Structure 1
């Protein structure tokens, strides 16, 4: 599912929203989440999961071809940890015979 599929699904499930309204809702949500993560905040959606920013310390690495030392700067990345309800739903979909 991509962003346009999400917008379409939202417009179908909420008939009072036009496609343009659904697009505005999805875009606002994504932009707000991106801004919060860029500011270093954690996002927790109960039952779905949580997004957090993880920092990797600067380090010295090696170029595999030449063996020369290379400085790798501090890196920030987004980490997603699924919630229990999402994990269980995915497990049930993959293994329908599970309780």
Structure 2
């Protein structure tokens, strides 16, 4: 069974249920949040969502690539790419969901490290 892809309407539905607002308002809210993130990234800013992760814009220089079939060199123009670094909270949450024993192990390790 293939994993489900969460789409914009899934986010809208979740907001409608949890916040008890209309579907129109939730759609506008999701659009505004995603629009703000897009605008910040387009202007080269880093976007940090606490407890979720960090989106960064990375500038890539012009370079020479190679066609794997023919071996012919092809120039690759400079571009900007987006990277995402998951927060420790998100990583722990994902690991707990896929492997509860691993999550429990991490919790006990964290408690041990915090205790003087």
In the superposition, the TM-score normalised over structure 1's length comes to 0.92
1:51 paired with 2:55, answer yes
Shift of 1:35: 0.8
Q: Which runs of 4+ in 1 moved over 4 A?
A: none
Q: How many residues align?
A: 98
2:40 matched residue in structure 1: 36
2:94 matched residue in structure 1: 90
2:11 matched residue in structure 1: 6
Shift of 1:56: 1.6
Greater relative contact order: 1 or 2 (C-alpha under 8 angstroms, separation 6 or more)?
Answer: 1
Moved more, 55-64 or 17-26: 55-64
In the superposition, the TM-score normalised over structure 2's length comes to 0.79
Shift of 1:13: 0.2
SS in 1 for 2:97: helix
Match of 1:18 among 19, 22, 27: 22
Q: Which structure shows the bigger proportion of residues in helix conformation?
A: 2
SS in 2 for 1:23: helix
Shift of 1:75: 1.7
Alpha-carbon distance in structure 1 between the residues aligned to 2:71 and 2:100: 50
- Note the residue ranges of structure 2 that are not aligned, 5 or more in a row: 1-5, 105-116
Shift of 1:68: 2.7
